[in-house]
Chains A and B, each alone.
Chain A
Amino acid sequence: MMLVRFIIIAVAITVMSGCSSSSRVVLLEGKKAQSSVIVTMDRGCKRVLDTPNTYTVLTSTNTKPSNTKVMNKTELDSQYGALIEAAPKPPQEFLLYFEPGSTTLTGPSTQLLPDIVMTIGNRQPCDVNIIGHADRMGSEQYNIELSLKRAQHVNQWLANEDVTVERTTVESYGESNPLVPTADGVGEPKNRRVEVSVR
């Protein structure tokens, strides 16, 4: 799974004899271990950034991105500290599991419910996505319907709680976003989940 975090600066500088502009792309530490970006100039030359706190510079007068440079923590903080601080936190995700073939939550999942309520309270204003997921075993349609029913069950619970949510959406992603990738036809309980994403 990949979560990539980067800062892009586009700076336009007009100089007397014409226009030149430059941009800088800095790869940051994301939530997940492995992340990389590929920076491509319009003429096709590329540079890959795959180490956090490295950057490349693109100028309109050059044909390729600069060699990768390292940005030290002091520079990062002084240039972008405020922006990084002010950025919204990525969504908090909760995974809920159910008794086989039913819309009853398992014991451990029931215990997660108060945490969800608390997180919603702490992230105002927030949207909540309730997403049913299925594994690749059995008919795709059956799995989509079951996972959607489960998501609806969670939505009913949430509607009864004393929290404010700007917008709640209830969806099913079917097999398209597994936690554990498998071949078609393979069952995987970890993929049969309802995800509550608090944004």
Chain B
Amino acid sequence: MKQLIIGLLICLLCCSVSLAQGDIAIVKSAEGDVTVKRNREIVSIQQSDRLQSGDILITGDESRVGIIFHDGSVLSLEEKSFLRIKDFVFEPLQKSFSFNLSLKKGVALFESGKIGEIAPEKFSFEIPQGTVGIRGTKFLVEVK
């Protein structure tokens, strides 16, 4: 049985592996009342759940959620917060990056990951009065 599973795994891996569409983050922790608004539905969220581009995260009183995105960036939301994941694209081989978050209310902690390293200009965090961006330090080395 184990042989069969390993065999299947190898077959799967021989094809080029790309992430299931829409799955962009894992919920590492969820305390209290945490929900996601997705395609007009409200879904309760708990540890180990997956998030998708477009999701709106909503925390109730005394509630908190911690998530890690596929590029390794960390987001934590305090109680009574309302945050939308506007989009998240992380495809280094295609050089395709995009990461936009929007906090309508509440408190969020964010620690950037690979998009912040590779393409900081593709990241933006909107708040009602403006936008927070990462000031990138990108450099080229050219030896002639």
Residues of A within 8 A of B (CB): 1-12, 21-23, 25, 28, 30-31, 34-42, 48, 50, 58-60, 65, 80, 82-84, 86-91, 125-127, 129, 144, 148, 152, 155-156, 159-160, 166-167, 169-174, 176-177, 181-183, 186, 197, 199
Q: Offer 21 A-B interface pairs, CB within 8 angstroms, sorted by A.
A: A2-B120, A3-B112, A5-B112, A10-B107, A10-B127, A28-B109, A37-B135, A38-B133, A41-B129, A83-B76, A83-B78, A83-B109, A86-B66, A88-B28, A127-B68, A129-B70, A155-B13, A160-B6, A166-B26, A169-B70, A170-B13
A interface SS class = mixed
- Known contacts A21-B129, A90-B72, A182-B141, then 6 further A-B pairs from the complex at CB < 8 Å, ordered by chain A residue: A38-B132, A40-B133, A159-B6, A166-B48, A176-B93, A181-B141
Contacts of A36 in B (CB 8 A): 134-135
Who on chain B is nearest to A160 by CB? B6
Task: State which of A23, A84, A129, A186 has its C-beta within 8 Å of the C-beta of B127.
Answer: A23
Complex Cα distance A91/B78, Å? Answer: 21
Minimum Cβ distance to chain B for residue A136 (Å): 10
Minimum Cβ distance to chain B for residue A171 (Å): 6
Chain B positions 1 through 40: 1 when the CB is less than 8 Å from some CB of chain A, otherwise 0: 0000110011001101111000100101101000000000
Tell me the total A-B contact number using a CB cutoff of 8 A. 195
B interface SS class = mixed
Who on chain A is nearest to B76 by CB? A87
Contacts of B29 in A (CB 8 A): 86, 88
Q: A40-B133, A42-B129 are in contact. Are A8 and B9 (CB under 8 A)?
A: no
Who on chain B is nearest to A197 by CB? B72
From A2, A155, A174, residue with most partner B Cβ within 10 Å = A2
- Please determine whether B107 and A199 come into contact, CB atoms closer than 8 angstroms: no
B74 within 8 A of A: yes
- Please determine whether B68 and A91 come into contact, CB atoms closer than 8 angstroms: yes
Contacts of B92 in A (CB 8 A): 171, 173-174, 176-177
Complex Cα distance A166/B36, Å? Answer: 20
- Please determine whether A177 and B78 come into contact, CB atoms closer than 8 angstroms: no
- Please determine whether B129 and A12 come into contact, CB atoms closer than 8 angstroms: no
Task: State which of B5, B26, B110 has its C-beta within 8 Å of the C-beta of A8.
Answer: B110
Complex Cα distance A170/B13, Å? Answer: 8
Contacts of A167 in B (CB 8 A): 23, 26
Minimum Cβ distance to chain A for residue B26 (Å): 5
Who on chain A is nearest to B134 by CB? A4
